[in-house]
Structures are given as C-alpha cells and as structure tokens.
Amino acid sequence: MFMPALIAIQFLTIIPIRFKNIPTAQQNALSLLFYPFVGLMIGTLLWGMAIELSHSPVILAASLITTVWVVITGGLHLDGLADTADAWVGGYGDRERTLKIMKDPQSGPIGVLSLVLLVLLKFSAVYTLLDVHQYLVLLIIPMIGRLTALFLLLSCLYVRPQGLGSLFLTGMPRIRLILLMLCCGLFLLGLFLWQAIILMAVVLLLWLGLRKLFIQRLGGVTGDTIGASIEIAECVAIFVMALLIS
C-alpha cells in the first residue's frame, strides 16, 4: 500500500514524487483510500501554521495560511472550479457545450469571479477561526474536501472515458471507501461533537445537491467538476464551522 499512498500525495499536492515504474491500474484505484489522509496531511500543515503564527497579527496569519492552502495543491482544484463555473454559465444547459467549455484552458470572467469569491470566503473563515483561537478546525477541512471527491466517484458515472479521473476507477475499492468515509465521520464526531453533527448534515446536503446538478447537466462527473466540488465543500465546511464556533 506504499505506492498507492505516494500516488495520492503526488496527485493531490505539489510534493515532488517520482516513480521508477508507471503505477498500475490497481495501484491508482487503491490510491483513493489515501485521499482523506492526504487531506489530513494538508490540514496538519495548516493547523501547525496557525499554532506557530498565534502571536502574529491575525490578518497576516490568515493571509499566509490561505496562501499555503492554495499553493500546496498546485491550484489543481481551483482550476477545476474556474472551468466548471465558466462551463456551467456558458453551456446554457447543453451537455456537449458544457463539456466543450470545460476543456478550454482559458478562464473567462465567471471563472475568475468564482475563484476570487471562494478564496475571499475561505480567508474570512480562516481569519474568524484564528481570531477566536479555534485552530483545530483547520485540521479537518481539507479531509472533508477529499471525502467529497470519494462520494462523487462512488455515486456518479465518470463521463470522460479518457479523462484523468478514469485512471482511478478501474478496480475502485468501493466497500473499503464507504467504510473509510464512515470512519472519518466518527473521527469528526470525536473532535467536535454537536458541531460535527451540523457540519456533516450540511456537507451531506451539499454533496447530494452537487450530485443532482452534475447528473442533470452532464449525466455524471468530470475531473473538473470533482475539483470544483472539493473547493466548494471546503469553503462551505470552514464557513459553517466558523459560524458555529464563533
């Protein structure tokens, strides 16, 4: 299981990992089991930064943490958000037009606006949490984002057979992924009790809403829509926790 873990880290972060051999289809599929743990790894970095910067001006600490949060993923999911936002508006409800716009590497005004608003909301929530010294929340938010990807892959068709996400679908360990998601839910309950119950209810509704939108428009998901969903779920989750805790 060492190789699948490295695949997940390489795919979801900018950490430079090189493989001597091309990963097999089974190793790619098993790497999905490590998505929540990569999320926890990112969250641990953000949590550690919050503790180390606890005596710095809050606005500077929040700015640094938000910046590192964006940089550590290489902007992969933000790119998906921009492409999805452009395609959703410019596609006019048409499946083929929506998919075509998603493949365009250039971002339009709607895509740029979606990025600005999302990063602004994340920064505001980070600032609020730092201001009341609730650093532990930062640990779990990236994990929730990666659980979002697992939920969509488990419950939706992948509509691009040759897309990047198709590499991870052959032999996907569905039962183990479901059990892993349940364990992550228990982990959240152990950390935040009643706040976790509200958070999980909101996130589940978000997942179901996104799933419905993607199926209605596209018949399933793409790599871009999964990336967009990760960013949206993180933003909603940290905003909800900031409201509950503050």
**pLDDT per residue as tens digits for the range 50-105:** 999 999 999 999 999 999 999 999 988 999 999 999 999 988 888 989 888 888 77
Q: What is the pTM of this model?
A: 0.95
| Residue 99 belongs to domain spanning | 2-245
Q: What is the mean pLDDT of the chain?
A: 93
- For the stretch 189-240, pLDDT in tens is 999 999 999 999 999 999 999 999 999 999 999 999 999 999 999 999 999 9
State phi, psi for 159 to the nearest 5 degrees.
Answer: -90, -10
Domains contained in the chain, number = 1
Could you give the percent of the chain with pLDDT greater than 70? 97
pLDDT at position 195 is 95
For the cut 70, the answer to whether the pLDDT of residue 168 exceeds it is yes
Alpha carbons 75 and 190: distance in angstroms, whole number: 31
